C-alpha cells in the first residue's frame, strides 16, 4: 500500500467540490482506463468572465487521483484564468504535501483535465480570451485519452486497412474502446479520410447479403474477412491467425504469433474473431480453435 500524506488522505476521505456543474463554462475530460484513472472537471466563471467562480469534479481512480482532483478544484476557485493557466502538476503535488513517485500521474491528470476544460471553454466562448495552454493539433493530437491513441495513428490504420466504421478503428487501435467519449471524433476523422479517398477513387462498396451467398461465395467471403480484417487486427497486437477449415457455420482457426501464447486467446477468438465473422458473413457462425 502507498504512503500518503495526511493531506492526501484528508482530501481523499473528505473530498471538496464533488459533482457536476450543469451550467459550466468549460468541461474537461481526461483519463486512462487501462491504468484505472478518469476525471471530469467542470469550471464556471464569475460575472467578470475572467475569474473562476466554481469548480467541481468527478473522478474514477485511486486515493491520490481523487485527492489530486479535489485539490485542483480548491486551487482553481478564485483564481483568474490567466493565473490558473500557470499552475503545474507539481503545484498540485506541493499543495498535497507530496505524492508517491508512481502516483505523480494523478496530478498530471488533474492538469490535463484543466487544460481540456480551457479548450472546451474556448469552443463555447470564442469571444473570451481563454489562455489555451496545450492544444495539440494534427497528427500528434491524442484522440483517445483512454488508450493514448493519436490522430496520426487513426488516420494511418484507416488508410492502410480501408476501415469504414468507428468499431473497426476501435478493433485496430483500441481507440474508442474505453470510455467511448472520442467516438464522434473518430467518426469525423473517418469521414475526412473516406471523403478524400472517395474523391480519389470512385469505388462503390459492394455489400452482399450473406444469406444469398452460395457456399463457395460464403467461404470466399470468410477468407476475405479473415485476410483483410482479422489478421491485420491481430497483427497490430503482435499476433496472427490461420484459417484452418470452414464446415457449414463452424469456422476453425489456429492462433499464431503472440496470440498463440496469449492467456486470453479464447476471449480473442470468441469476442473478436467470431464477432467479426458474424458481422461480415453470417450471425450463425461459430469459431473454434484448431486442436
Partner 1 sequence: MESSTDIIYVDNNATTRLAPEVVEAMTPFLTTWYGNPSSPHPFGNEAAKAIVHAREAIATLLGAEPEEIIFTSCGSESDSTAIRSALETQRGRRRVLTTAVEHAAVLNLCKYLQHNGLHVDYLPVDSQGRINLEQAKALINDDTAIVSCMWANNEIGNIYPVEALGQLAHAHGALFHVDAVQAVGKIPINLKDSSIDFLSLSGHKLHAPKGIGVLYRRRFTPFQPYLIGGHQESGQRAGTENVASIAGLGRAAELAMAHMDEEQSRVRAMRDRLEAGLVASCPDPLVNGDRQSRLPNTLNICFRYIEGESILLRLYETAHICASSGSACTSGSLEPSHVLRALGLDYRSLHGSVRFSLSRYNTDAEIDTILQVTPGIIRSLRELSPFGRL
Nearest CA to 251 among 212, 232, 224, 211? 224
CB of 39 to partner 1, least distance (A): 7
Is 35 an active-site residue?
yes
CA 142/CA 158 separation, integer angstroms: 16
Q: Which is nearer to partner 1, 179 or 281 (CB)?
A: 179
Is the distance from CB of 35 to CB of 65 less than 8 angstroms?
A: no
Nearer residue to partner 1 within complex by CB, 3 or 215: 3
* 179 among known catalytic residues: no
| Least CB distance to partner 1 at residue 86 (A) | 26
From the list 106, 146, 179, 182, the catalytic residue is 106
**Least distance in angstroms from the C-beta of 265 to partner 1:** 5
- Contact footprint for partner 1 (CB under 8 A): 1-2, 9, 12-13, 15, 18-19, 29, 33-40, 58-63, 65-66, 102-103, 178-179, 261-267, 271, 289, 291
Pick 65 or 143: Cβ nearer partner 1:
65
Sheet holding 250-257, edge to edge: 239-247, 250-257, 286-289
C-beta of 60: minimal distance to partner 1 in Å? 5
Give yes or no for a contact between 18 and 74, defined as CB atoms under 8 angstroms apart: no
Residues 235-239: contacts with CB under 8 Å, at least 24 apart: 236/157, 236/172, 236/173, 239/268
Q: Which residue, 236, 240, 59, 266, is CA-closest to 160?
A: 236
Q: Which is nearer to partner 1, 34 or 220 (CB)?
A: 34
Catalytic positions: 35, 106
Amino acid at each position: 500500500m502507498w504512503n500518503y500524506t495526511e493531506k492526501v488522505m484528508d482530501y481523499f476521505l473528505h473530498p471538496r467540490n464533488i459533482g457536476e456543474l450543469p451550467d459550466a463554462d468549460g468541461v474537461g475530460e481526461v483519463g486512462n482506463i487501462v491504468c484505472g484513472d478518469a476525471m471530469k472537471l467542470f469550471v464556471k466563471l464569475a460575472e467578470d468572465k475572467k475569474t473562476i467562480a466554481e469548480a467541481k469534479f468527478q473522478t474514477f481512480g485511486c486515493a491520490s487521483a481523487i485527492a489530486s482532483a479535489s485539490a485542483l478544484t480548491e486551487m482553481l476557485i478564485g483564481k483568474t484564468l490567466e493565473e490558473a493557466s500557470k499552475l503545474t502538476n507539481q503545484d498540485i503535488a506541493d499543495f498535497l504535501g507530496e505524492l508517491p513517485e508512481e502516483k505523480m500521474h494523478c496530478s498530471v491528470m488533474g492538469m490535463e483535465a484543466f487544460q481540456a476544460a480551457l479548450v472546451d471553454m474556448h469552443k463555447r466562448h470564442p469571444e473570451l480570451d481563454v489562455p489555451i495552454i496545450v492544444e495539440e493539433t494534427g497528427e500528434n493530437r491524442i484522440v483517445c485519452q483512454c488508450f493514448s491513441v493519436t490522430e496520426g495513428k487513426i488516420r494511418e490504420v484507416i488508410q492502410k486497412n480501408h476501415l469504414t466504421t468507428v468499431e473497426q478503428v476501435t478493433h485496430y487501435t483500441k481507440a474508442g474502446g474505453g470510455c467511448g467519449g472520442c467516438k464522434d471524433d473518430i467518426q469525423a476523422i473517418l469521414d475526412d479520410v473516406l471523403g478524400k479517398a472517395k474523391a480519389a477513387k470512385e469505388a462503390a462498396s459492394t455489400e452482399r447479403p450473406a444469406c444469398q451467398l452460395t457456399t463457395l461465395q460464403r467461404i470466399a467471403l470468410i477468407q476475405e474477412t479473415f485476410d483483410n480484417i482479422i489478421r491485420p487486427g491481430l497483427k497490430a497486437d503482435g499476433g496472427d491467425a490461420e484459417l484452418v477449415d470452414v464446415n457449414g457455420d463452424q469456422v476453425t482457426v489456429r492462433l499464431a504469433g503472440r496470440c498463440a501464447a496469449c492467456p486470453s486467446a479464447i476471449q480473442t477468438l470468441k469476442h473478436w474473431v467470431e464477432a467479426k465473422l458474424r458481422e461480415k458473413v453470417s450471425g450463425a457462425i461459430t469459431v473454434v480453435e484448431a486442436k
